Amino acid sequence: MHELLTEFANKFHYYGYFAIMMIGLYAMIAKTNLLKKCIGLGIFQTAIMLFYVSIGAKEGAGIPILDPAVGTADPAAYANPLPQVLMLTAIVVSVATLGVALALVQNIHRDHGTIEEDEILKGLRGK
Amino acid sequence: MTAQLPILTIAPLLFGAFAVTAGRFLYRRANYALAALALAAAFFASVLLAVQTLTQGPAVYFLGGWPPPVGISYVADPLSALMLAFVSGAALATFLASKAEIETSYPLKNSAFYALFLLAVAGHMGIVITGDAFNLYVLIEVAALSGYAILAQGRERAMLASLNYLFVGSLGASLYLLGVGYLYIMTGSLNMADLSGIIGQMIPGGLSGSTALAAAWGVILAGLLVKMGLFPFHSWLPAAYSFSAAPAAALVAPLTTKVMAYVLVRMIISLFTPDIAWSVPAMNTLAVVLATAAILYGSFCALAQRSLRKMLCFILLAEVGYMVGGAFLGNRAGLTGTIYHIFADLLMTLCLFLAAANIERGTGGRFSDMGGFFRRMPVTGAALVLGAASMIGVPPFCGFFSKWYLLTGAVAAGSYAFAGALVVSSLVNAVLFFRIFEIGFFGTAASPADPADPANPAEETGHGHAEHVPFFRDEMSPVRLAPLCLVALSLVVMGLMTGQIVRLVVDPILPPGLG
């Protein structure tokens, strides 16, 4: 039991990101409201960002901005900046994705008067 | 100049996209010419790059002058250079063939469509040439986002279909990103050449040496298969491609699935190397089983369709199965077949979708409206016959040779189910296209030409039997036919050049020891 808990405590961020990711996936699959699906997609992508940033973290390390007192002599004093930089790009991508998705949802609402997927499909079949 | 060629293939498209967006407010009429110029420049640079790569060997371009592993590199080897030429050529052909279509399908939004079109092509070309695993993710999203936007314009279901495509596509790209994260944890690098070296040293015996790397490959593979629309993850594809306006489908359908298959091949050959990528037998078996299921499912669903474009979408699903299956047969013939089929299928799909766009415009595109279309649109009909013959796998066409390699590989690997599925799919394709030929030759053209086009002089004579319909009644203008005919003829040319393509493009990038 103790080993199991240690294992969990050492790797808790993996379990955390995975749980959040599955919540997002559940929302994307199970919800019929298109806006909730967008939110699910956002949660899914955020979980991956969390995963990336967490792998760059080190114990006792600060933010990766050059500190004049430390200099570049001690890399252990800084968190790994590369995952953070990558995630800045990924955040931009996810904002753009969400923007396109919301624009589509807005147009769907204008055309069909609802954003519930089953009602839209019912309306399309009815015609 | 020649050292800068790798970036010159992409740069005109990016600048063109900005110029078209700016030109919208300045001088709207120049936009079409500007976009066509950007595409032509990209095509020209790609062809030059392909010639240079084939004569002088591979070239690597460091973006911003930063050498790898720190910077992003663009790698032009024979495979990527030829793929660039195919992608940009396909985009140029689609663009030139669908000028009138774009103007009617996207009224008042021409400039936006041109900009998105250029961005989509730039994204796909970037995916092909980049040598950086994270840059690949960003470019997948660039290509996909512009694709969602242009596919959303169309019939009333197009928005919903495009939104569903967006959800599934983002999911696939996110899975790829997750896999790259695991690669980064284990290796500390994102450059593909660098990654390949580190992975080779770390697990020379195969993926059983490292659970994290096995997970990385599994998650990346899952992401790519979702983006490709392999059988269980396919539901977005037919809807997104069949409800949109014809030019968007003719651009995105040949490019997206093929470029994703290219990424799969790139991952197997250049990132993990075949020995390591194929080291988990269960994964290979699963991929081949899914591919077999995709081929059978796509072929039989295509039989049930009542409109030309929808039928082509389901054939596309079966073609995805060809490429994935060949990549996981685990032998040289299978992988050669997959690489060759990426090129062949790009041309075949392009030919058929362009022909379908013409037929849709001339007749409406439902089988019931297409009666006698060979008489009404003989040139389009001839191109459709060439595309169909290649899709069925008639010998001098390129479709035959990829099937031949894939069948050889399947028999060598003992995957008789996959070999059987390939044969069945060819037979079903023959049934599908001969049904269309029957409608085209013997069906009667009862409906008037194009109800949306009252200027058509033949409209009054349109009622009656097929023999009363004048030749060329509904044929499109030469501007639309020339690219289509070129693409259709290139199917034969590529088929005749199979030996050279395999020798110059496929053999140099496959590891020499691969059996």
Low-confidence ranges of chain B (pLDDT < 70): 1, 108, 445-470, 472-474
- Compute CA distances B120 → B10, B14, B256, B485, whole Å: 11, 10, 10, 24
The SS3 assignment for B287 reads helix
Put simply, the answer to whether B134 touches A89 (Cβ < 8 Å) is yes
Chain A hits for B171, CB-CB cut-off 8 Å, are 25, 28, 41, 44
The SS3 assignment for B366 reads strand
- B174: contact with A, CB 8 A cutoff: yes
Put simply, the answer to whether A120 touches B160 (Cβ < 8 Å) is yes
Residue B145 is nearest to which of A34, A83, A97, comparing CB atoms? Answer: A97
B316-356 confidence digits (pLDDT tens): 999 999 999 999 998 899 999 999 999 999 999 999 999 99
The SS3 assignment for B78 reads helix
Residue B163 is nearest to which of A45, A82, A105, comparing CB atoms? Answer: A105
In sequence order, what are the residues at sequence separation of 6 or more whose Cβ sits closer than 8 angstroms to the Cβ of residue B27?
none
Residue B320 phi, psi dihedral angles, 5° rounding: -60, -40
d(Cα B121, Cα B127) in Å, to the nearest integer?
10
Chain B hits for A37, CB-CB cut-off 8 Å, are 167
- B96: contact with A, CB 8 A cutoff: no
Judged by phi (left if over 0) then psi (alpha if -120 to 50, else beta), residue B510 lies in beta
A67-98 confidence digits (pLDDT tens): 787 777 777 788 888 899 999 999 999 999 99
Q: A2-65+75-126 — its CATH code?
A: 1.10.287.3510
Put simply, the answer to whether B163 touches A104 (Cβ < 8 Å) is yes
Predicted pLDDT of residue B31: 83
Nearest to B220 by CA among B168, B183, B273: B183
Put simply, the answer to whether A117 touches B160 (Cβ < 8 Å) is yes
A115 has a pLDDT exceeding 50: yes
Residue B298 phi, psi dihedral angles, 5° rounding: -60, -45
B383-434 confidence digits (pLDDT tens): 999 999 999 988 889 989 999 999 999 999 988 999 999 999 999 999 999 9
Residue A34 is nearest to which of B145, B148, B163, comparing CB atoms? Answer: B163
State the nearest Cα–Cα gap between A48 and chain B, in angstroms: 6
- B181: contact with A, CB 8 A cutoff: yes
- A50: contact with B, CB 8 A cutoff: no
Q: Which of residues 91-110 of A touch B (CB under 8 A)?
A: 93, 96-97, 100-101, 104-105, 107-108
Put simply, the answer to whether A124 touches B156 (Cβ < 8 Å) is yes
d(Cα A44, Cα B197) in Å, to the nearest integer?
32
Predicted pLDDT of residue B467: 52
Q: What is the reported pTM?
A: 0.91
d(Cα B295, Cα B417) in Å, to the nearest integer?
11
d(Cα B427, Cα B418) in Å, to the nearest integer?
14
Predicted pLDDT of residue B144: 93
* Residue of A58, A92, A107, A121 best to disrupt the B interface, most CBs of B under 10 A: A107
Residue of A nearest to B177 (CA): A48
State the nearest Cα–Cα gap between B368 and chain A, in angstroms: 20
* Residue of A86, A91, A109 best to disrupt the B interface, most CBs of B under 10 A: A86
Nearest to A38 by CA among A93, A96, A94, A101: A101
Predicted pLDDT of residue B452: 46
- A34: contact with B, CB 8 A cutoff: yes
d(Cα B198, Cα B2) in Å, to the nearest integer?
31
Predicted pLDDT of residue B451: 46
Q: Which amino acid is at B49?
A: L
- A41: contact with B, CB 8 A cutoff: yes
d(Cα B481, Cα B474) in Å, to the nearest integer?
12
